[in-house]
Amino acid sequence: MSTVSPVGPANGYRRIATEEAFVPPELHRMYRELVASGSVDDPGFNSLIGYYLGHPSERARNVSERLQDIGERRVADMDSAGIDMQILSLTSPGVQVLKRDAAVAMARLANDQVAEAVRRYPKRFAALAAVAPQNPPEAAKELERAVTKLGLKGVIINSHTLGEYLDDPKFSPIFEAATALKVPVYLHPNTPPKKMIEPFLESGLDGALYGFAVETGLHALRLIVKGVFDRYPDLTVILGHLGEALPFWLFRLDYMHRGTVSSGRYDFLKPLKKKVSDYLRDNFYYTTSGMASPPAITFTQSVIGMDRVMYAMDYPYQYVHDEVRVQDALALSAADKKAFFQTTAERVFKV
Provide the binding-site residues for a copy of itself, judged by CB under 8 A.
51, 55, 57-60, 160, 163, 165, 167, 192-193, 195-200, 203-205, 207-210, 213-214, 217-218, 221-222, 225-226, 241-242, 245, 247-253, 255-257, 259-260, 262-266, 268-269, 290-293, 295-296, 299, 302-303, 318
Residue 335 and residue 288: Cα distance in Å, rounded?
Answer: 18
Active-site residue, from 77, 206, 314, 328: 314
What angle (nearest 5°) sits at the alpha carbon of residue 66, between those of residues 205 and 116? 120
CB of 269 to a copy of itself, least distance (A): 4
C-beta of 121 vs 319, nearer to a copy of itself: 319
CB of 179 to a copy of itself, least distance (A): 22
Dihedral angle sign, alpha carbons of residues 83, 348, 231, 226: negative
C-beta of 39 vs 260, nearer to a copy of itself: 260
C-beta of 102 vs 214, nearer to a copy of itself: 214
Strands in the chain per DSSP E:
16-22, 85-90, 125-127, 129-130, 155-157, 185-187, 237-239, 284-287, 309-310
Amino acid code (one letter) for 209 = L
CB of 298 to a copy of itself, least distance (A): 9
Do residues 89 and 20 touch, judged by C-beta distance below 8 A?
yes
C-beta of 150 vs 201, nearer to a copy of itself: 201
Residues contacting 4, CB < 8 A, separation 6+: 15, 78, 79, 82, 83, 84
Dihedral angle sign, alpha carbons of residues 168, 155, 88, 326: positive
Residues contacting 23, CB < 8 A, separation 6+: 31, 67, 68, 90, 91
Do residues 70 and 315 touch, judged by C-beta distance below 8 A?
no
C-beta of 133 vs 290, nearer to a copy of itself: 290
CB of 89 to a copy of itself, least distance (A): 19
CB of 192 to a copy of itself, least distance (A): 8
Amino acid code (one letter) for 331 = A
322 counts as catalytic: no
CB of 64 to a copy of itself, least distance (A): 12
3-state secondary structure of 304: helix
Which has the closest alpha carbon to 178: 152, 212, 158? Answer: 152
C-beta of 55 vs 73, nearer to a copy of itself: 55
Q: Active-site residue numbers?
A: 314
